[in-house]
Every structure is written in C-alpha cells, then in structure tokens.
Amino acid sequence: MERFDRCPETALDWHRAGKGAVLATVIETWGSAPRRVGSQLAISGEGEIEGSVSGGCVEGAVVVEAMDALADGKPRELEFGVSDQDAFAVGLACGGTIRILVEPVGSVLSEDILDQLVKFRMARTPAAYVVDLDSGERRLDQSGHEHAFRMDRSGFKEDSRTFVAIHNPPLRLIIVGAVHIAQALVPMARIAGYDPTLIDPREAFGSDSRFPGETILHDWPDEAVQKLGLDTRTALVLLTHDPKLDDPALEQALRANCFYIGALGSTRTHAKRVDRLTASGFTEGEIARIHGPIGLDIGASGPAEIAVSILAEMTRILRKGA
C-alpha cells in the first residue's frame, strides 16, 4: 500500500450497513500511471467513495462499472489509458495505462475474507489477498510472499493470472530520546511514510514546544516500548547516549520482531554497549541486529545530516534486508 488507507474497512462497514460495497484495486500499470499497483478505491451502492485508483482521471468510469458489478454480482477487469493531459493534471510527465479489478463485496469478495483482512490490519499483521483471476479462487495468506511483504509490492505472480495484494501495517518509527537529531528525523520520517512516536521521560526534552503536534510518551523507555509493541514494520532508534534510558528499550527490541534497531554513539560507546548486553545474557547474533554507530557512513555533520543517514539506513534495511 502506498499509505495506510481504510478502503477495506470502509467497504466492510458499507456492506454491513446494507448499502452495498465494491472494492476496486489497481492490478497492473504501464508507463506513468497515477497510482501504484495495489492502490484501492471503495465505492458504496449509494455512490460514496474512499481512496483512489488514478488520482482522479478515471474514478468516474470506475464508479459506473462498480454499480453494474453490484447489480449483477460479477467482477470486472477494466483497462484505462491515462492521457498525457490527464497525467499532467495529477502531476505526471506523461500518460500510461492501468488495469483495475472491481469486486463486489458479498457476491465476489466474501464478507468472511474481508472481515478477516480487516482484523489482520487492525492487529498490525501483514496479509496477502490472493486472487486467481481465471478460477475466481480468493484467499488470504500470511506467509509465502516474503519478498513482496518486504518490498511492500503487490502484483502478479510470475507467468500467471494470480494477483497478490499486499496489506502491510503502516511503517512506524519509535525514537528514544527527544534530542536535536530527533527534531530533524521526525519530519523526515513523516515524509518517508513513517508514523513517529517519541519516548523520553525527561519532560524538558520531550515537550510540545520542541515537537509540536507529535506523539510524546514520558514513560520509562522499556515500559513505553512494551506498550507500543514492536513488529516487522517498526523501526527503533535510540538517541539518548544514556545507558539507563537506551538499554532497557534495547533489551526489549532484541527479543522482538522490529525490522531495524539503531543506537547512537561512537565505536567505543557501542563496544561498551555490546559488553553490557553480553553480560546480560544476549547472544552475539542478537546483539548483531543493532546498527551502531547508527546510520550510513556518509560523513554526516550536524543533526540534520545524521538524521538523513539514519533514515537512509532504515530504508536500506527495510528494502534489502540486513
């Protein structure tokens, strides 16, 4: 998903309210299509919409097809060419072509499957919605699509008519230490699609004046991390330099499933950190998950450049693995 929309949840609500609902999904693109594969549009039987499959170019035509699909209870595979003029209107240099799958809820996309998908999403559990466009078989998978989950990339299985829609939880960034680097990292992470949360029991650091509008927890870091939970779509960044604050959260992370753990400090500081964790019973393999010193080595100078190096390293690990 390009970002965490609520199209499945909205479609399920409309269906259960008796309005009728359809989910339209981009299943293939060529050229400069306005939305990526996996983007969705929910349409109710009363003409309400949520989401987008084209940035506005073809939504009207998709709604018409959705109403017909609701009437006859059958899916549709649609193909649209996006003209150069329309592409320019949604911020693209040139046009492209998109294919869209239209599925009425109930008759085609079963309420049970949609309900389970919504539950997976609420629980921050990655799920793949798999459709065989020839046989009509539909199912949910939680494994077997590891590369697609990591790349957050929906698409057809190789040489087949089987489409896999990846539903990943939103990316989260948990930062321990509301320091200067965090002031630069938080807005950068938001632009990159992360939902950041700051943890710092020192209220003078984690204040609304320093981080206006952000989520700030003043709990002890290990308690806050446990409360928030760590999963495969969460990055943990430790910035305090203070073992009393960093280590409790770090110990939680080393036995959790987060995709990235980074800790600020020099090579000497990290060596002392490794000694402390070894003495606490952590294995060499567990400790090796920590990126310390944090960030890609780009010769960063100052908080903003260090934040760039951290975000770059997070992206590399997310997309390419450790």
For residue 27, which of 140, 165, 121, 142 has the smallest C-alpha distance? Answer: 165
- pLDDT at res. 168: 93
Q: Which two tokens stand for residue 257?
A: 């499933």
Q: How many CA atoms lie within 13 A of 172 on its CB side?
A: 19
- pLDDT at res. 4: 53
- pLDDT at res. 54: 83
Neighbours of 193 (CB within 10 A): 14
Domain boundaries, the chain: 7-167, 171-320
Which pLDDT tens digit goes with each residue over 210-223?
999 999 999 999 99
The alpha carbon torsion through 182, 264, 300, 285 (nearest 10 deg) reads: -130
Q: Report phi then psi at 72, rounded to 5.
A: -105, -5
Pairing status of strand 162-167 against strand 127-132: antiparallel
For 171-320, CATH number?
Answer: 3.40.50.720
User: Where do we find the tokens 């109710």?
Assistant: 44
- pLDDT at res. 1: 38
CB 27 within 8 A of CB 37: yes
> What span, in angstroms and rounded, lies between the C-alpha atoms of 318 and 234?
10
- pLDDT at res. 97: 84
- pLDDT at res. 92: 45
Residues 6+ positions from 275 with CB-CB distance below 8 Å: none
- pLDDT at res. 93: 47
Pairing status of strand 194-199 against strand 171-176: parallel
**Portion of the chain with pLDDT greater than 90, in percent:** 80
Q: Report phi then psi at 10, rounded to 5.
A: -65, -45
Could you tell me the pTM of the whole model?
Answer: 0.78
Q: Which residue stretches of the chain have pLDDT < 70?
A: 1-4, 33, 82-95
Q: Which two tokens stand for residue 243?
A: 């073992």
Residues 6+ positions from 211 with CB-CB distance below 8 Å: 178, 182, 183, 186, 198
